[in-house]
Amino acid sequence: MADPLRINSSQSSANSLSGNQAAASPSDVNGANFADTLAGVQDLKFSNHAQKRLQSRNITLDDDGIARLSTAIDKAEKRGGRESLVLVDDLAFIVNVQNRMVITALDAQSRGEGVFTQIDSVVFADPSSPEQSGSSLSSRDVQA
């Protein structure tokens, strides 16, 4: 399995994740910029806002997490979802389904009151293998 994609929270907020950086930054993985890597994976995009939230909340997505997120978006699209809350283990993503764009990302500590508005669907991203089924959300993790 490939190395996980990481955003280092110590990176200056002045640095953009747009891919126009000349020197390698802490957000680089094996020389590839995080945003560029994500953009090329499974036709999934992350808004600037989502990129900043991933960075500030030190949220890490590995290849499996991205694949699960993409598969969940496919499910939402098949069922007519437009703005979906996608739950991947203890992470929550608000996604514009039509554009396949992640609008924001939250971890368990940043959910606030646990109220999500302006969504029309919720999708649980299934574990991709049986050994990961123990890492699914428990009822106490989702506050609605």
Count structural domains, the chain.
Answer: 1
- Tell me: the pLDDT tens digits for 76-96? 999 999 999 999 999 999 999
Does 135 reside within a domain?
A: no
Predicted structure pTM score = 0.64
Q: Which residues of 56-65 are buried (b: 16+ CB within 10 A; e: fewer)?
A: ebebebeebb
C-alpha 101/C-alpha 116 separation (Å) is: 17
Output the pLDDT for position 128.
Answer: 74
- Domain of residue 50: give its range: 39-129
Report yes or no on 16 lying in a domain: no
Q: Is residue 143 part of a domain?
A: no
Residue 24 located in a structural domain: no
For 98-111, how does the pLDDT look when each residue is reduced to its tens digit (9 = 90+)?
Answer: 999 999 999 999 98
User: Is the Cβ–Cβ distance between 73 and 45 less than 8 Å?
Assistant: no
Q: Is 46 part of any domain?
A: yes
Does residue 70 sit within a domain? yes
101 lies in a domain? Answer: yes
* Residue pLDDT, tens place only, 5-52: 443 333 333 333 333 333 334 444 444 555 556 555 568 999 999 999
